[in-house]
Chains A and B, each alone.
Chain A
Amino acid sequence: MMEIAFGLVLLILSAAVVLLFAMFGELASRVPDRNSAAAKSRVQPVDGALIGRTPERWPTSLSHLADADVGLLLVLSTSCASCRQVAKQLSAELVRNGAGRIDILVSSASRDFGEDFVQQHGLGRIPYFVDEGGDWVKNEFGVMISPTGLVFKKGRLDAALLFQDLAALQAAAISAPLAEVARR
């Protein structure tokens, strides 16, 4: 009888595992595929971003954004996979069309990691700021997620957009109310 009881317990446990995987599969089928073309081209506002805020202080390398009619700052992080993809896209964009007016902020645990990220992707030609710990962008704009595109008008944060594809971000930034980005 003990053997039958043991077999029964084993069967119940294996059924529980099967059921767990079934529920996991059901859950996974309800989550949009991050790698799909639709997901990659999606651009969405960042929750909690301090839209309308003008920062108290600008890092020296980004100070020109304070006076620019319109500016686009890409917030990247050394710890996110999508940011590396964006950095590659940006690097390719540099080769094709030159630097343009895009600036980058690299959030990193240390300055060295941030500098390595910039050099590794050949982004040294673009004005950049390594934000150690992401403190500046978090305190000034409430942004704690990357990759994010911050659109400024005369130094004031006009939009904060989460994105995965640089072209999709630029297209979204062109659309109203960010039409000036296209005309700058």
Chain B
Amino acid sequence: MTAEGSAVVTVNCLVAAVLINAALVKLASPDRLLRALRELIASDSVLGPSAVRLAAVVELTAGLGLMSTATIKAASLVAATLGIGFGILGLAGWLTRSKVPCGCIGGHSDRPLGKTNVSIGLLIALVLPVNTLIKLEPATSVAYSQWTLGATALASLAICAWLNRSASLGFLKPVETRWEEGVSR
């Protein structure tokens, strides 16, 4: 694979991993983002968990679409739209000094919508110009899918490990320091 092809694989893998992680966490736990969005738009009548899960399905589809040359263009467009959407939400959270943790990108930190979302949204949106400007040769499509599937899986695991590092490290601590109420025998 050429240097340009490698760049496309790298960018698409990272974006796909971010989208897949964010989508899976939203599917399992939509409430955090919902609370953050309700704080932002000051209304609880429009949005429900099903709306967040629908957005998660779109994210998941876009992430998976980036892994095949047949669907890469459409997936780039959807991913870029989502990225711009994340950026706008982050900007809105930043300007309104949002305080509700959003659980964004699959994290469980207390960080609300803000600058990080703007940055990540813009990085996700970059996938469209990258895939538009750099054309992959038709012959590389199988190799592309081979690389992206494996690399996205590893990137996804790395993101998950990083975002859940404090919870994971908690398991490595001695039991006594975590166990607060001991049985007396």
Contact = CB atoms under 8 A, between A and B. Distances in A.
A55 B174 CA distance: 37
Interface stretch (A56-64, A137-145, A151-159): A137-145
Interface of A: 3-4, 6-8, 10-11, 13-15, 17-19, 21-26, 28-29, 34, 75, 77, 79-83, 107, 131, 133-135, 137-138, 143-148, 162, 164
A166 to B, nearest CB: 15
Interface residues of B, number: 37
B124 interface: no
A133 B184 CA distance: 7
Given A22-B29, A137-B184, A144-B184, A11 B167 contact: no
Contacts, number: 125
B28 to A, nearest CB: 4
A143 B148 CA distance: 58
A111 to B, nearest CB: 14
7 contacts: A10-B150, A11-B150, A24-B164, A26-B29, A83-B182, A133-B185, A146-B181
Contacts of A107: 184-185
A133 B185 CA distance: 5
Given A14-B153, A17-B157, A19-B24, 17 more contacts: A14-B154, A14-B157, A18-B20, A18-B21, A21-B106, A21-B163, A23-B29, A24-B167, A25-B108, A25-B164, A28-B167, A80-B180, A81-B176, A81-B182, A107-B184, A143-B184, A145-B183
Contacts of B103: 25
B145 interface: yes
Interface of B: 20-21, 24-25, 27-29, 31-32, 103, 106, 108, 142, 145-146, 148-150, 152-154, 156-157, 160, 163-164, 167, 176-185
